[in-house]
Copies of this chain bind each other. A is one copy, B any other.
Amino acid sequence: MLHVAEAARVSVATVSAYINGTTTVSQELSGRIEQAIREIGYKRNAIARSLKLGTTRTIGLTVPHITNPFFTDVVSVIQQAFDRAGYAVMLCCTDEDLNNQDEQIRLLLDRMVDGLIIARVGDGAYLKETVERANVPVVLVDREVDGVDSDRVVLDNHQAVFEAITYLLELGHRRIGYITGAFNITPMRDRMTGYHEALLNAGVAFDQSLVRSGDLHEADGYTAAMQLLSLHDRPTAIFSANNPMVVGAMKAIRDLGLSCPEDVSVICFDDFPWADVFNPQLTTIAQPVQAIGEQTASLLLDRLNGNREAPSRRLVLKGRLMVRNSCRPVQALTSVPTVVAASST
């Protein structure tokens, strides 16, 4: 900017005024400045600007996995929304590691992000303190955290799972395997209560041996399903609390020479784009990813636009059961587990 000022024979203050349109600059000087800018190929240094202005027009976004299609979709929507609003997005993936995420949040705050969107991977001792200290608005998405009272948008996990399990019960299933993640994040807790209540509601006893917990990855789903399907009285249906784990579960079914839905019905949390073109077409609980992303972005943008003092807002969206063909009525089960032509290769 100094160079531009010199070339145009004006002061830097005038160049700044011209660029930002803060004061009227005469025709003559405008011309000279414009030309100098072009000749020099000047670009305003956003870092210096940020330092002075105290705002970076950048937000931080931290999610557990970007390869999980749910988060992919949400991140994509959020990214677009902030793009439109003229903000850049710094993306961090934490691989479900709490220390990792704390570290990343620290990094983002050091970089003076204007706001933070967090899908929290664990509990919130550090988060709580940080959020209070750093004076930036935070929006939690997908996962709430005890004691942190920021804006948040979550799903009605309880209700969604209640419906899914009820659907299985109505099909006649009584032994429903349940594959979950650890209970240190709210969705897993809430989904579990949905399972409980659906059973209770139908008068079916809860059986702890039908519940397997993993770390949300595909491999965990595989292990869990292997165990469940090896029980002497194996479940007729399996529910997986997220998408990567259901892939593992399907592999377990395949490797055991079973097939879905003939031998075991399957439902999973989170939909994916090609669920209805391959077989079995998985019955899933679809989260309204578009809405989740948009609401999350708009909550944060609202704060960034100055609405700092409003009480914290909690948005709860509804999931939707997408019934396809991965679940069968239980009486139609093949009684003898035949090795069906499951796959070659």
Interface residues of A (CB under 8 A from B): 41, 43-48, 50-51, 56, 58, 65-67, 69, 72-73, 75-76, 79-80, 83, 88-93, 95, 104, 106-112, 133-134, 218, 244, 247, 250-251, 254, 273-274, 276-282, 323-325, 343-345
Contact = CB atoms under 8 A, between A and B. Distances in A.
A109 B41 CA distance: 13
Given A66-B72, A254-B277, A279-B343, A43 B109 contact: yes
Given A45-B112, A46-B110, A112-B47, A72 B83 contact: no
A41 B67 CA distance: 35
A323 B280 CA distance: 20
Contacts of A47: 47, 50-51, 56, 111-112
A325 B250 CA distance: 17
Contacts of A91: 75, 79, 89-91
A253 to B, nearest CB: 8
Nearest to A251: B277
A288 B170 CA distance: 44
A247 B218 contact: no
A90 B247 CA distance: 30
Secondary structure type dominating chain A contacts: mixed
Nearest to A244: B273
Nearest to A55: B47
A109 to B, nearest CB: 7
A110 B72 CA distance: 27
A334 B279 CA distance: 20
Contacts of A88: 90, 92, 107-108, 111
A279 B281 CA distance: 9
Given A46-B111, A47-B47, A67-B76, A278 B278 contact: yes
Given A47-B111, A91-B91, 20 more contacts: A43-B109, A45-B112, A46-B110, A47-B112, A48-B51, A51-B51, A65-B76, A66-B66, A66-B76, A72-B72, A79-B92, A79-B93, A80-B95, A88-B92, A89-B92, A90-B90, A279-B279, A279-B343, A281-B343, A324-B345
B50 A110 contact: no
Nearest to A134: B43
Task: Name the residue in A73, A91, A93 with the highest tally of chain B Cβ atoms < 10 Å from its Cβ.
Answer: A91
A66 B79 contact: yes
Nearest to A110: B46
A14 to B, nearest CB: 21
A120 B279 CA distance: 35
5 contacts: A76-B93, A247-B274, A251-B276, A278-B279, A325-B345
Contacts of A218: 273
A23 to B, nearest CB: 22
B75 A66 contact: yes
Contact of A250 (B65, B274, B344): B274
Nearest to A68: B72
